[in-house]
Chain A
Amino acid sequence: MDFTVSVLLGTFLLSIAALFIFIWSMSKGLFGDGVAAATEIFGKNELGTVEDPAATRTQMGGLQQAMGNVAERMTEEEEESRARADKSTSLVVGVCLTLAVVWLVLASLAGLISSIKLHAPDWLVQYEWLTFGRIRPIHLNLVAYGWCSLAGVGVAIWLIPRLLKTELVGAKYALIGGALWSIGVFAGTVAIGMGYSDGLEWLEYPWKIDILLVVGGALVGFPLWLTLLQRKVEHLYVSVWYIGAGLLWFPILFLIANWPGLHFGVQQATMNWWFGHNVLGLWFTPIGLAASYYFIPKVLGKPIHSYNLSLLGFWSLAFFYSQVGGHHLIGGPIPSWLVTISIVQSMMMAIPVFAVAVNQHMTVLGNFRALAYSPTLRFIVLGAMMYTAASIQGSLEALRAVNTVTHFTHYTIAHAHLGLYGFFSMVMFGSIYFIMPRVMNWEWPYPKLISLHFWLVLIGFAIYFIWLSIGGWLQGLAMLDENTTFMQSVAITLPYLEARSIGGGLMTLGHLVFAAHFFAMGWKFGPKRLGAALLSNSLLSRLTGKGVTA
């Protein structure tokens, strides 16, 4: 039998076998903690109580009504311990999220400039640091390591005490880690601008700067392990699994990928995409899913649809996602068995995606009215839908027939944005809207700006994604047709590239609105509406009486 075919078959059988072993072990209770773990994120009487600090008093009323009225309230003791848990993270989370928002604005501007340059090639060409080949990687790195990573770290750290029902231990490690990380992002951006790039996509920062991210990344994970030792919950909620694994995986991936002098030639290319895909699958995806697995049920006040399915999703994501990187090199000069393994595992990704989709969508199903009232939920549910879409699209793109068209085209860029923007960034926006009122003890001053942000980025992204996907597909078809000149494949994309700039412009505008609102809250601007966003009125008076501000 042909070797490649046997590898294909072998990988497939092995994966199926692993899956059955997993299901068997779950039935024996080796992996799961059963249904009890699903309600671990709620207080004793809390089920049925909605929570969205970003909602106004009227919205909260509507939200609670949409979910049905509750008879019981949380005990004062529980409320107080939750408030203490939230307060233990406020400084470090506030710092991480503020930095993330700053990086987001800079990243958006860099992205917009790159986008315009593709259809206005003689614009801003005098400055070396603004040339397309530098401002584009500046955009990517600012998005990935600036905005997404720091937002993810901030959200993850804020979730830890809530998931483990105890105060955060060792916040200072995360603070130092976040600071090192940010210095690394700044230094890396300057380095790329000056032309000191390692030359690998996703790994442009010079290795001396990478040390800051490896150490910083390891340090931000520290509080999780310290807090785990103090945990007051019996079961680990699925979000803890995702966050814990993500915080372990990232520093290791980044360390191996950037090790100076280790990688060479084509081997470096396989390593490049082992990293390039794993940074998405084993870093951003786990954090994004951890957040949506917490906020969807928490806002709605009802547990996720199936807890066992969520753990199946976790382990199968880890297993399959970690091996899909090779599909970035289909048709390239690398061993074909390697590409084959990655294609098979890309297909197997259907399992974790299905598990997450069923869980998250079924939890929301029947409660769509809640979306009208909860700003947090609107972003996160949209993000969860985009996760499903991006994952299915990603699996299809790994198929050789589809990949032959889409490889090397703007279609891939559109897909990358569906994942990191449509899914991850949307979930982060929603999470930040939920978290910041707790961090600052202050409400969002202008609720209308949240809606404005939502619609700007939604419409902007729809234009971005739809037009760029079409343009990319046409570009791919043109390149495959030997009777079409290469320049025709360039010309065909121009209107779509222009549309992308319009979409990107709207997204950037949305981010400016978001950032302005964020800092308005930071400086406590706007009408004083303290009250509805906080845990309860009784607690509020005690907290403000003690002078608790951020």
Chain B
Amino acid sequence: MNVGRRVRVPAPLALPAVAAAVIALIPAFYLATQAFARGAGNVWDEIFQSRTWDLIVRSTWLTAVVTAASIVVGTVGAWVTTRVALPGRAVLLVLFALPLAIPSYLSAFAWISWQPGLEGFWGAVIVLTCACYPYVMLPVAAALRGLDSTQEDVARSLGRTQRQVMWGLVLPQVRPSITAGGLLVALYVLSDFGAVAAMRYETFTWVIYGAYRAGFNPSRAAILSLVLVAAALILVTLESRARGRAGAVRIGSGVGRNRRNTASPRAVVGAVVASLSIIGVGLGVPVVSVISWLGRETQRSVPWADVRGAILDSFLIGLLTAIATILVALPVGIAASRYRSRFSSAVERSTYVTHALPGIVIAISVVYAGIRLLRPWYQKLPLLVLGQLLIFLPLAVAAIRNSIEQSSARIEEAAKSLGAGTMATIRRVTVPLALPGIGAAAALTMLNAMKELPTTLLLRPTGWETLATSIWKYSTVSDYSAVGPYALTLMIVTAVPTAIVTSLTVLRVSRPSSPGRQG
């Protein structure tokens, strides 16, 4: 019944929301200023250079191959975990999702230390596919689980074979989820810095970093960033459209009843082989490599003080980023979910702008902003937190918005009719109800901030070393025995929460939703 309702966002919510939007627009603003600093002609010259075109071709090729590979692996993974009668499928799904937790630069170094010859295109393809296929697998598995199994029974009763049902009925219905997942993968590949840098495969992010580090041509870095952002924007737009369509599949509207899973010997053998390969390549190689690095460590003593320092720095940065991000995202999320208007959706969209900005681009633009605008903060903690906040703001806003929309607006109306004012309702009802979702968003932000590389590399305060930058520092000089302790710590710190979150999601999907509505 929201049709035609005119709503005004209350001022105590509107002011911080506008502030959040302004903060979110900083990178785009500084990027544009810097790119056009030498005039529009220079922009065209830079773009129409043959080396720029080389870069475009290389980036596009990598993106296309990784996306295709991720779609295949992710769809197979989803099929194995939802449709084949294997014991312990829930555990399997969690294992399949775990590569999400391993930062791409870490698994890239893991592969190189094992097979130095892989450096280059194919190495990048392997590492990025392992990092990305969960983005396809998770939504496709959810869509497969959400499909009404009676549809398939009906099709079978009308004379279709199992294979025909799969290709003609099931696949078309999960295709929107595959598309949405694939676009997400493409976006990830375009913005990834760690894997291509470790594999020394020159794509946009790596070259932008180089141009920035070289220092003599900041506007080239900004111009290349603009090209990258344009490509990312296209992907973001396509992705949000595809996601809308994916939502039309009845995901989450209940458990498929009486689903019979294929237990034919061929399917089971195929599933086991597929599972072992996915786990072996995605999880096995990085884990075994890291452990073998630790084994080399015996030759010299571990610098425990340094490791402890890196852990503390990572935690502190992660915690501050999480707190700051949630505080900035909260008013936007509330306004966007409960006070829908042109104003609130404009504010929300502004915070999504950084979603199209690769981490390295945000980092560079925050450096510019720091030099021009926030000089006292330059190379200090607040600027790093700002950079990280900009990266994770879109995720946090979306998560908060979703968790608020989980609860019915009627509950807040009940609160208002009982005499609670706007802010009191937010404090006493909206936020407490959304707390699990807000907490999850905070935890996820902290986790991602701890393993984030490019922004930390560029913006960390002098003398600070996090787990991520330590791994980077030693790996780039192939000192893997020194990397061991940092890598293992980071893996544990990020893998455990990822496993918990994934298994919770799996459990929630297989349980009847919204408890307590019926007697």
Q: Do A and B come from one complex?
A: no
